[in-house]
Amino acid sequence: MPSAQTRTRTFRPLPVPSVTLGGLFGERQDAVCATTAETLLDRCVEAGMLDAIDVTKPSPGIVIPLQPWSGSTQMFWDSDLGKSIETVAYSLYRKPNPKLEARVDAIIDLYEKLQDEDGYVNAWFQRIQPEKRWSNLRDFHELYCAGHLMEGAVAYYQATGKRKLLDIMCRFADYMITMFGHGEGQIPGYCGHEEIELALVKLARVTGERKYLDLSKFFIDERGTEPHYFTQEAIRDGRDPKNFIQKTYEYSQSHKPVREQTHVVGHAVRAMYLYSGMADIAAEYGDDSLTKALETLWSDLVTRQMYITGGIGPAASNEGFTEPYDLPNESAYAETCASVGLVFWANRMLGRGPNRDYADIMEQALYNGALSGLSLDGKTFFYENPLESAGKHHRWVWHHCPCCPPNIARLVASIGSYMYAVADDEIAVHLYGESQARFEIAGTVVTLAQQTRYPWDGAIALTLGGLETPQSFAISLRIPGWAKGAKLTVGAEPVDLAAVTVDGYARIERIWSAGDQMRLDLPLNPRFLHANPLVRQDAGRAALMRGPLVYCAEEVDNGTGLNRLTVTGDPQAAREASVEGLKNAVALDLDAEQDRADWGSTLYREAPPQTQPAKARFVPYALWDNRAPGEMLVWMRRPDGRQTKTGSGA
């Protein structure tokens, strides 16, 4: 939890164009620029999304059939376009692309023509089911779609200076302000799928209009209050409120007012978007009652409900949470969007001061459960991110619900913004990686360069630039919890980390000049992690990590039958190898024993399997299924627990 003294400060992420990336994320951004951004637009077009918003064409009608909840994933098409526009916007900073920009301009022109007089914009409720407008906030994602278009509008305006979509969405937001509230004829409701809350904050920040913040706060404050809006809405329209396919309002975190919520429940992406919006409003209004609720929810998530990959939401049935410590590996849903959402939330929890509790998890979710959603070439995607596969789980080209591809793409394309945050007198470095950051502190332009091969190597050289005149301020460098034995030098001086570390950040406050250098050494410590014994699915097993990266074994390296392996080798003695097919990612090789497959003709027998010596190769989890398809396994059998009968202590 953040120490009390840091609560009062405000840290703003650096704007996306203020950070230029090399290294791993530079390469991934190049892939987004080269292929993903265009791929997203292409596939949106192929899916028929432009026909849906083009008023000069006949309505396409219901292309994706209605489901038992009376809706269709086609209802979310605006959100897919919104996130794709956002991705393109960020990509333009790194690589101007007039062709892509023109395509987005054309889409925005269609939205301009689509918008109603009153400001309303939504392809489904204008063109497919106009009679259903505002009829079912619980299920129909109406404000969710608006939120994603707003995020796209803000990003596109910031990247290009073009205001058209921003103006469209401001008009829509102004209309929402008239529509939502407790006044006569107003709707005292909120969206079943959170998103509008955080989007309105972005809109407010870019326009300076506090009214958008107020609407966001209204949605957050109203959520889960009684009489329950979703119940009232159903009764109003003659629907049975109990006839709800998800059964409980926990699904949309509207089972009780948000400040009273203590357990992370329901649909995982919705939860992350809500908490992100709550964190924004907490920061904007200095609302400690929200921050307190968020701290409780955070603790519940990361100590009881999070996969080691930062994947969250184990169940397909509700795309979300089940019971504490229930983390099945092979059937893990762990939607890419949910891990992306966890990065969003963690980043916003850093808005009130650097704190390793949040930044470590942000990094863990980013490098593992989120990044796994995008192939190395930027062309194929995971929706679910299981921690074990028997060989049939593969990246796909497109999905009937293509929410994940543009979500991970917009995160990757904007990742610089998550690496650094700046306050009046302090810059925080949350994430490491080859990069150049530009910011302003006390009116002075400062640059901060990281030279590093991180995450493949833990040596990071930081060099300050700009600074026409020396300036006093603090630089806070995250010392990851896993980096046992980290070392820092400022200039030639070794720093006593224990003395300067606050909330897990080494805080160096001094007068900085251009050319000042720091050197941070983060031992990547290849290590096995064990899960709390209450996680039944991981009993007797361990997961290999190195730095922030979770590792896994793949069939392409180890043959079939990954559960036949027991990894006996000491991770500190792991041999490193560079894998060409994975853009020279660092693989780790360990000794293992393998249950022999020459078993005989019965399925069950008294004699345990014979074993034979073997090697196990591990590669970063996020990179699996980029080579020959096959099995994958994160939690490997380990002899540890059983060798040391009394355990080796906590």
Choosing from 3, 70, 262, 303, the residue that interacts with a copy of itself (CB under 8 A) is: 303
**Residue 347-386 contact track with a copy of itself, rule CB under 8 A, x = bound:** ----------------------------------------
User: Is 70 one of the binding residues for a copy of itself (CB under 8 A)?
Assistant: no
Q: Between residue 318 and residue 347, which ones bind a copy of itself under the rule CB under 8 A?
A: 323, 326, 328, 330-331
User: Is 611 one of the binding residues for a copy of itself (CB under 8 A)?
Assistant: yes
Residue 277 vs 386, nearer CB to a copy of itself = 386
Choosing from 4, 492, 498, 603, the residue that interacts with a copy of itself (CB under 8 A) is: 603
CA distance 53 to 56: 9
Long-range interactions of 175-184: CB distance < 8 A, separation 24+? 175/118, 175/119, 175/120, 176/143, 176/146, 176/215, 177/211, 177/215, 179/134, 180/215, 180/218, 180/219, 181/218
33, 115, 165 from 121: Cα distances, Å? 29, 5, 11
Choosing from 264, 308, 366, 522, the residue that interacts with a copy of itself (CB under 8 A) is: 308
The full 3-state SS of 110-176, as one line of letters, equals HHHHHCCCCCCCCHHHHHHCHHHCCCCCCCCCHHHHHHHHHHHHHHHHHHHCCCHHHHHHHHHHHHH
Q: Residue 179 gets which letter from DSSP?
A: H
Return the axis-axis angle of helices 164-179 and 98-114, rounded to nearest 10°. Answer: 30
Quick one: which segment of 96-104, 159-167, 429-437, 639-647 binds a copy of itself (CB under 8 A)?
Answer: 639-647
User: Is 572 one of the binding residues for a copy of itself (CB under 8 A)?
Assistant: no
Residue appearing with tokens 């929410």:
403
Quick one: which segment of 51-59, 98-106, 417-425, 521-529 binds a copy of itself (CB under 8 A)?
Answer: 521-529
CA distance 40 to 26: 19
Cα torsion 98, 101, 103, 105: sign: negative
Exposure b/e, 152-161, CB count within 10 A at least 16 = b: bbbbbbbbbe
User: Is 605 one of the binding residues for a copy of itself (CB under 8 A)?
Assistant: yes
- Give me the least distance between CB of 72 and a copy of itself, in Å please: 15
Exposure b/e, 169-191, CB count within 10 A at least 16 = b: bbbbbbbbbebbbeeeeebebbb
User: Is 248 one of the binding residues for a copy of itself (CB under 8 A)?
Assistant: no
User: Is 296 one of the binding residues for a copy of itself (CB under 8 A)?
Assistant: no
Is 542 buried (19+), middle (13-18) or exposed (0-12) by CB count in 10 A?
buried
Quick one: which segment of 50-58, 155-163, 249-257, 527-535 binds a copy of itself (CB under 8 A)?
Answer: 527-535
8 Å CB contact between 172 and 121: yes
User: Is 637 one of the binding residues for a copy of itself (CB under 8 A)?
Assistant: yes
Residue 306 vs 585, nearer CB to a copy of itself = 306
Quick one: which segment of 143-151, 215-223, 339-347, 538-546 binds a copy of itself (CB under 8 A)?
Answer: 538-546
Residue 513 vs 560, nearer CB to a copy of itself = 560
User: Is 243 one of the binding residues for a copy of itself (CB under 8 A)?
Assistant: no
Nearest partner of 336 among 297, 382, 398, 301, judged by Cα? 382
- Give me the least distance between CB of 197 and a copy of itself, in Å please: 28
Residue 212 vs 358, nearer CB to a copy of itself = 358
- Give me the least distance between CB of 389 and a copy of itself, in Å please: 10
What is the DSSP track for 552-591? EEEHHHH-S-GGGEEE-S-GGGPEEEEEGGGTTEEEEEEE
Quick one: which segment of 93-101, 296-304, 368-376, 433-441 binds a copy of itself (CB under 8 A)?
Answer: 296-304
Choosing from 399, 609, 627, 629, the residue that interacts with a copy of itself (CB under 8 A) is: 609
Return the axis-axis angle of helices 37-47 and 98-114, rounded to nearest 10°. Answer: 40
8 Å CB contact between 146 and 82: no
User: Is 466 one of the binding residues for a copy of itself (CB under 8 A)?
Assistant: no
Give how many residues touch a copy of itself by CB under 8 A: 61
User: Is 533 one of the binding residues for a copy of itself (CB under 8 A)?
Assistant: yes
Torsion of CA 201, 205, 210, 216, to 10 degrees: 0
Choosing from 160, 476, 566, 626, the residue that interacts with a copy of itself (CB under 8 A) is: 566
CA distance 9 to 265: 30
Please give the structure tokens belonging to residue 144.
């969710």
Residue 352 vs 541, nearer CB to a copy of itself = 541
Q: Residue 365 gets which letter from DSSP?
A: I
- Give me the least distance between CB of 372 and a copy of itself, in Å please: 18
Report whether the peptide linkage leading into residue 455 is cis, meaning its omega lies within 30 degrees of zero. yes
338, 545, 584, 638 from 276: Cα distances, Å? 12, 28, 35, 37
Those residues whose C-beta lies under 8 Å from the C-beta of residue 177, and which sit 6 or more positions away, are 211, 215
Residues marked active site are found at 319, 403
User: Is 610 one of the binding residues for a copy of itself (CB under 8 A)?
Assistant: yes
User: Is 546 one of the binding residues for a copy of itself (CB under 8 A)?
Assistant: no
User: Is 532 one of the binding residues for a copy of itself (CB under 8 A)?
Assistant: yes
Is 536 buried (19+), middle (13-18) or exposed (0-12) by CB count in 10 A?
exposed
Give the chain's largest Cα–Cα span: 80
- Give me the least distance between CB of 9 and a copy of itself, in Å please: 26
User: Is 542 one of the binding residues for a copy of itself (CB under 8 A)?
Assistant: yes
User: Is 531 one of the binding residues for a copy of itself (CB under 8 A)?
Assistant: yes
User: Is 304 one of the binding residues for a copy of itself (CB under 8 A)?
Assistant: yes
Q: Between residue 403 and residue 432, which ones bind a copy of itself under the rule CB under 8 A?
A: none
- Give me the least distance between CB of 608 and a copy of itself, in Å please: 4
User: Is 228 one of the binding residues for a copy of itself (CB under 8 A)?
Assistant: no
> 611: helix, coil or strand?
strand
- Give me the least distance between CB of 302 and a copy of itself, in Å please: 7
- Give me the least distance between CB of 63 and a copy of itself, in Å please: 17
Residue 315 vs 477, nearer CB to a copy of itself = 315
User: Is 65 one of the binding residues for a copy of itself (CB under 8 A)?
Assistant: no
Residues of this chain that bind a copy of itself (CB under 8 A): 302-304, 306, 308, 323, 326, 328, 330-331, 390, 527-537, 539-540, 542-543, 561-564, 566, 593, 595-597, 599-611, 637-642, 644-650
